Amino acid sequence: MKILHTADIHLKEHGDERWQALQRLIAIGKAEGIDIFVISGDLFDRGINAEDLRPHIRTLFSDSGFRICLIPGNHDRDAYAGGMYFGEDTYILTDLNRPFEYKDITIWGIPFEPAVGEKTLHQLHSLARLLTPDKKHIMLYHGELLDAFFSRSDFGDEGDERYMPMRLSYFNDLKVDYVLAGHFHRRFDVWQLAGGGYFVYPGSPVSITKREMGRRRINLFEVGKPPQEHLLDTPHFEEVVIACDPFTGKDPIKQVEERLRSLHANARVILIVTGFINGEAIGMTEEEFVKNVRKVIRDRTVEERYEFRDIRTILEDDLFKGFLTKLEQADYDADKKKHMQEIAIRAMMEARL
């Protein structure tokens, strides 16, 4: 049996990049012949988006050929009033005591609440007698795993608030095969549970903020086997840092061009140009250099930061001029003087970065 697991799509508008990412996941599910599609919270960005998008969701989620199970997250916890219809074979798990059962699998949804601490532990252990060995047991969860090292930015734009924190030890005495989690946006991550199961964050399937770098992933796996990350062709951010060095002989414009050519077509680039250029050698002022970089990047970037300098700012520095005067007076051959001059320029470049 095959499951596709994602979270944190944060739908806002019909037809936008996030909507297209969801369509792509449905298409992958069909192509892979999955049995269950799991969304572990924050399908919608806010409750109002859910109500606007629900008619489109019904169409997308119906006649897919597989079951769809989802839980509310902190962003869309008000979007699932009892009895609302989201499409054929779509199951909203809002009560821990009412799981979804399919063949030999039982899927339990841990309902989202603001930070509740030990309450979640007690809720889980109240199910201990129901987690029988004749079934595969899967928990859907949306919140923060305290065992993992995260920065607050790893959770999108959530600020400093804690969302339903949990520890791996909560599952130590439970027969749980998978905890399919959401809320952590940045990357795909897996932890082994003490009983042999897995705790999985798939990361967001489309970049929601600029902090979500690199190609996005989902968890696409066979039940009974380890989680498997599956690369997506969805929009994502990539940070490209070009460190210009006038002594390498490399054309900095070509450096930018080659780096962009190596990126995925759906990458949205955050370009940072640092270091130094030799404007005299490449025949450009700083302003002309930026204009030529922009001709290369065209519409690929969402942000540009130009932190480079022309080496002429060092050559015209009084301290460097004083060094050159003393170097000329020194009894070294021409190659030695050239080498020492380069060392001095590099030292001043490092000091000014």
User: Per residue in 27-75, pLDDT tens?
Assistant: 999 999 999 999 999 999 987 788 899 999 999 999 999 999 999 999 9
| Domains identified in the chain, total number | 2
Q: What is the SS3 assignment for 337?
A: helix
Which tokens sit at 254? 């070509």
Quick check: 343 pLDDT over 60? yes
Quick check: 113 pLDDT over 80? no
Quick check: 176 pLDDT over 80? yes
- Specify whether the CB–CB gap between 42 and 75 falls below 8 A: yes
User: Per residue in 116-131, pLDDT tens?
Assistant: 667 778 888 888 888 9
Together in a domain, 72 and 209? yes
Which residues lie closer than 8 Å to 326 by C-beta, 6 or more apart?
none
Could you give the CA distance from residue 231 to residue 208 in angstroms, rounded to a whole number? 17
Give the pLDDT band (50/70/90) at residue 224.
very high
Give the pLDDT band (50/70/90) at residue 332.
confident
pTM here is: 0.85
- Specify whether the CB–CB gap between 146 and 165 falls below 8 A: yes
Q: Comparing C-alpha atoms, which of 67, 22, 24, 14 is closest to residue 43?
A: 22
Distance of CA 197 to the CA centre of its chain: 24
- State the residue range of the domain holding 254: 236-352
User: Per residue in 281-290, pLDDT tens?
Assistant: 888 999 999 9
Domain with residue 138: its CATH number is: 3.60.21.10
Together in a domain, 8 and 142? yes
Together in a domain, 324 and 292? yes
DSSP secondary structure letters along 59-96: HHHTT-SSEEEEE--TTTTTS--TT----TTEEE---T
Residues for the chain: how many in total?
353
Could you give the CA distance from residue 150 to residue 147 in angstroms, rounded to a whole number? 9
Together in a domain, 20 and 140? yes
Question: Of 214, 231, 248, which marks where a domain is finished?
Answer: 231
pLDDT of residue 128: 85
